[in-house]
Amino acid sequence: MVQDKLRIIAATAFGMEAVCKREMQKLGYTELFVENGRIEINGTFEDVVRLNLWLRTAERIKIKVGTFKAETFTELFDETKKIQWGKIIPKGGAFPVDAKSVKSKLFSLSDCQKIVKKAIVEKLKEERKEDWLDESGALYRFEVSLLNDIAEITLDTSGAGLHKRGYRKLIGFAPIKETMAAAMIDLSYWNKDRILLDPMCGSGTFPIEAALIARNIAPGLNRKFTAEKWENFDLSLWQKEKTAAKKLIDYDTELNLYGYDYDPEVVEIAKINADDAGVLEDVHFESKDFLKLDKLPWEYGVMITNPPYGERIDKRDEAIQIYKKFGQIMEENPTWSYYLLTSNEDFEGAAGKKSDRKRKLFNGNIKVDYYQYYGPRPPKE
């Protein structure tokens, strides 16, 4: 399978496809096939490694193993068994199967899992002329996904979701995913030459992700991936890509990143997370109450935040108070650009200002709106 061309899937949250596509284009990929929640390319295992290491907004990287029509369990079994599983799963490999089904005749997930697992087992026994399969080795996790009676079998290469960068061992209340934070930064006017402030930073995800972006630190540099243990691939590619990524880190750019939170204990958590990410010196964290902010000491900054109020912790009155204050800050700091994520549809009314753009995203299975207020561009020096 190492030499074969692979069909690689970068799975994304809904609404993130365009952002992830831009990321992949920046990495040099041109032949991209975009669908809801995914971007596909033809590639090799080297691309699997690179995408796992570098994509900031994808949820995980998968390899497509097979796709076929399956309206009955017999079809599902027979078509699955046609795949050359011995070229994918080495001896000793563990191969659990997950399942999901949408608008398909085969809707029992447990039965779909069992049928696919049985087909793989029977095929491997035939290929290896064995009566029993050892599964004590490396993990090869498959998923059979049925949509409109078309079955697709994929192999996960990431393991833990790509939002788990490895730095956020401690989290504050109601944290935002790192992948979502990176996408929100990408969709903003912020760049590494501008000030970024999250006035309700919680565990520090926004300024930390901004620092990783500004320093060009690969988001997967300090974590492990399931495919790193696959003996039937060239494992030296992981070290090669990580070594190359380290050489691309920008240590010289001066950054102006700020994270405030009213809770001193949460601020300390944010500092620990930033330290684990290797960017503690790049972010100024401070305990400050958002409701007491007034005129900010800078011009042309970018504020990005995900307020810990509203539906997420069922404090509607506090949410409205936060949104009204957000509107006041916009009035007092007209050169800034503002970005806020919330599932509370009362936001614009409470803030007193209609956004320049409202973008629908999904934070897990929750629909949220990303409100964007575009300030003036900084004057050229």
Residue 62 pLDDT more than 80? yes
Q: Which helix (H) or strand (E) holds 261?
A: strand 257-261
Cβ 333 vs Cβ 296: under 8 Å: yes
The residue among 20, 61, 56, 49 whose CA lies nearest residue 242 is 49
Q: How confident is the model at residue 314, as a pLDDT?
A: 52
| Residue 3: band (very low, low, confident or very high) from pLDDT cuts 50, 70, 90 | very low
| Residue 174: band (very low, low, confident or very high) from pLDDT cuts 50, 70, 90 | low
Taking the CA atoms of 265, 270, 275 and 281 in sequence, report the sign of the dihedral they define.
Answer: negative
Domain covering 6-156, topology: VC0802-like (3.30.2130)
| Residue 317: band (very low, low, confident or very high) from pLDDT cuts 50, 70, 90 | confident
Question: Kind of pairing, strands 257-261 and 196-198?
Answer: parallel
In this structure, what is the dihedral angle of CA atoms 281, 283, 289, 294, given to the nearest 10 degrees? 120
Q: Which of 11-15, 58-62, 316-320 has the lowest mean pLDDT?
A: 316-320
| Residue 95: band (very low, low, confident or very high) from pLDDT cuts 50, 70, 90 | very high
3-state secondary structure of 207: helix
Q: How confident is the model at residue 36, as a pLDDT?
A: 93
The residue among 72, 300, 49, 67 whose CA lies nearest residue 190 is 300
Cβ 143 vs Cβ 153: under 8 Å: yes
Residue 149 pLDDT more than 80? yes
218 backbone dihedrals φ, ψ, rounded to 5°: -60, 130
Residue 310 pLDDT more than 80? no
Q: What is the pLDDT of residues 177-214, one digit of tens each?
A: 999 999 999 999 999 999 999 999 999 999 999 999 99
Mean pLDDT of 355-366: 88
Q: Domain extents for the chain?
A: 6-156, 178-218+226-373
CA–CA separation, 146 and 85 (whole Å): 20
Q: What is the pLDDT of residues 291-305, one digit of tens each?
A: 999 899 999 999 999
**Buried/exposed 307-335: b ≥16 CB within 10 Å, e otherwise:** bbbbebeeeeeebbebbebbbebbeebee
Mean pLDDT of 276-280: 96
Give burial (CB, 10 Å; 0-12/13-18/19+) of 3. exposed
3-state secondary structure of 65: strand
Mean pLDDT of 68-81: 98
Residue 309 pLDDT more than 70? no
Q: Which has the higher per-residue pLDDT, 226 or 166?
A: 226
Residue 170 pLDDT more than 90? no
Complete DSSP assignment for 287-332? E--GGG--S-SSSS-EEEE--S-BTTTTBHHHHHHHHHHHHHHHHH
Mean pLDDT of 122-139: 95
Q: How confident is the model at residue 367, as a pLDDT?
A: 85
Task: State which CATH number among 3.40.430.10, 3.40.640.10, 3.40.50.150, 3.40.50.1100 fits the domain covering 178-218+226-373.
Answer: 3.40.50.150
Q: How confident is the model at residue 363, as a pLDDT?
A: 79
In this structure, what is the dihedral angle of CA atoms 171, 174, 177, 182, given to the nearest 10 degrees? -90
Q: How confident is the model at residue 2, as a pLDDT?
A: 46
Both tokens of residue 324?
Answer: 């009204």
CA–CA separation, 364 and 14 (whole Å): 9
Both tokens of residue 336?
Answer: 């800034």
How many other CB atoms sit within 10 Å of the CB of residue 343?
Answer: 14
Mean pLDDT of 308-331: 79
Give burial (CB, 10 Å; 0-12/13-18/19+) of 345. exposed
Q: What is the mean pLDDT of the chain?
A: 93
Q: How confident is the model at residue 72, as a pLDDT?
A: 97
